[in-house]
């Protein structure tokens, strides 16, 4: 089950049925099935708090993924800062909706095992995000 929750922000407009199907399709491409995945949409203040408390990082970010996967089943909590998604969309010259979907699938790719700590891994993550976005049907 994929759930969408908010913490101090308005729920973004998402076509949940289509988005859930897309997420399952992408996971299946990596030999995974979706179990319990919770998206928590929040503001910059909350994501900074989570980053400090759980990761000992003192900076803002767009997404934090907590991986509870078991075997080939994806389980996790994915915090998404809508403030940062909005500013990233402006910075990268894309729409909020496109950037939001990029971040949603970014978390799933982390749960599928994709890292992004090195420049090479970040480039591979971006390529996989772009591939996934081509599968998204409105």
Please enumerate, as own/partner, the contacts of 22-28 that have beta carbons within 8 Å and a separation of 24 or more. 22/101, 22/105, 22/132, 22/135, 22/136, 22/137, 23/104, 23/105, 23/108, 25/135, 26/105, 26/108, 26/109, 26/132, 26/135, 27/74, 27/108, 27/111, 27/112
User: pLDDT higher for 51 or 138?
Assistant: 51
How many structural domains is the chain composed of?
Answer: 1
**Which residue has tokens 């081509």?**
134
Q: Give the ranges where the chain is alpha helix by DSSP (H).
A: 16-29, 44-55, 82-92, 96-111, 119-134
pLDDT digits (tens, 9 = 90+) for 16-66: 999 999 999 999 999 999 999 999 999 999 999 999 999 999 999 999 999
At residue 137, the pLDDT reads 66
Does residue 138 have a pLDDT over 80? Answer: no
pLDDT of residue 64: 97
Q: Is the confidence at residue 73, as pLDDT, over 60?
A: yes
Give pLDDT tens digits for 96-107: 999 999 999 999
DSSP SS3 for 86: helix
Q: What percent of the chain has pLDDT over 70?
A: 99
pTM: 0.95
Compute the average pLDDT of residues 78-105: 97
- What is the spatial distance between Cα 108 and Cα 133, in angstroms, rounded to a whole number? 12
Q: Which domain holds residue 56?
A: 2-134
Average pLDDT, the chain: 96
Backbone angles phi, psi at 112, to 5 degrees: -80, -5
Do strands 73-81 and 63-67 pair parallel, antiparallel, or not at all (unpaired)? antiparallel
Residue 103: CATH number of its domain: 3.40.390.30
Cβ neighbours, 10 Å, residue 35: 18
């Amino acid at each position: 089950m994929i759930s969408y929750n908010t913490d101090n922000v308005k729920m973004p407009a998402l076509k949940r049925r289509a988005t859930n199907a897309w997420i399952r399709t992408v996971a299946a491409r990596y030999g995974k099935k979706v179990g319990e995945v919770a998206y928590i949409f929040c503001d910059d203040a909350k994501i900074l708090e989570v980053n400090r408390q759980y990761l000992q990082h003192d900076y803002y970010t767009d997404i934090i993924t907590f991986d509870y996967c078991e075997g080939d089943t994806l389980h996790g909590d994915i915090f998404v800062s809508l403030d940062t998604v909005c500013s990233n969309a402006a910075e990268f010259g894309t729409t909020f909706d496109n950037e939001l979907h990029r971040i949603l699938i970014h978390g799933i790719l982390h749960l599928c095992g994709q890292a992004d700590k090195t420049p090479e891994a970040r480039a591979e993550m971006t390529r996989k995000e772009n591939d996934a976005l081509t599968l998204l049907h409105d």
